[in-house]
Amino acid sequence: MLKVGLTGGIGCGKSTAVRRFRELGVPVIEADLIAREVVAIGQPALDEIVALFGSHALQDDGALNRTWLRQTVFSDPSRLQQLEAILHPRIRTEILNRIAACTHSAYVIVDVPLLFEKDYTQLFQRILVIDCLPVQQRTRVQIRDGSEDAVIESIMQSQIGREARLQQADDVLSNTSSITDFYEKIDNLNFEYAKFSDA
């Protein structure tokens, strides 16, 4: 089975691509969903976060206070590293477990937004980058989230640069035109990946 890591900058269309691959019957594993699961109430990672950051890291209902934690770690790189040391080994292990469970498919897609930044590349045989123009990224995120320019810019700056992403890609899906065009490219790539896994 072919293991494909999917990534791309904010606003490039990763969610749209994931939705289309699912419509085509491809199993998709999402690192962001796993990241939420590993810090759910009762999980060891949540206990470690509270031990490290204190009770402010929890909401009144005992769930993770994501807003407080996000503000805390993004203003202090050392705290961000501490948080990631708790999360990423668990996320990586769970990704591998879920890949192993996908036994009846020609290939599997794993959506990892920080694939390059957190060194997930060795888990995959192909790296698929969803790409668009930076001006399109900013416009799409503004429309989607209503985010301010400064917030969008800071997120884009925290991610690996577009050129570096493209240089490390095995495959690139350009999402610069219509949704119809984008879906057609995904459908064609689905056909190629299915052949690849038979080779």
Count Cβ atoms below 10 Å from residue 153 Cβ, excluding itself: 13
**Which residue is it, tokens 């009144």?**
60
Residue 12 is labelled as binding a ligand: yes
What angle (nearest 5°) sits at the alpha carbon of residue 25, between those of residues 23 and 26?
105
The H helix count followed by the E strand count for the chain is 9, 5
Residue 54 is labelled as binding a ligand: no
Q: How far out from the chain centre does Cα 117 lie?
A: 11
Residue 88 exposure: Cα atoms within 13 Å on the Cβ side: 15
Element (H, E) at 151: helix 149-158
Residue 13 is labelled as binding a ligand: yes
What dihedral do alpha carbons 5, 10, 16, 22 form, nearest 10°?
30
Residue 14 is labelled as binding a ligand: yes
Annotated binding site for ATP: 11-16
Annotated binding site: 11-16
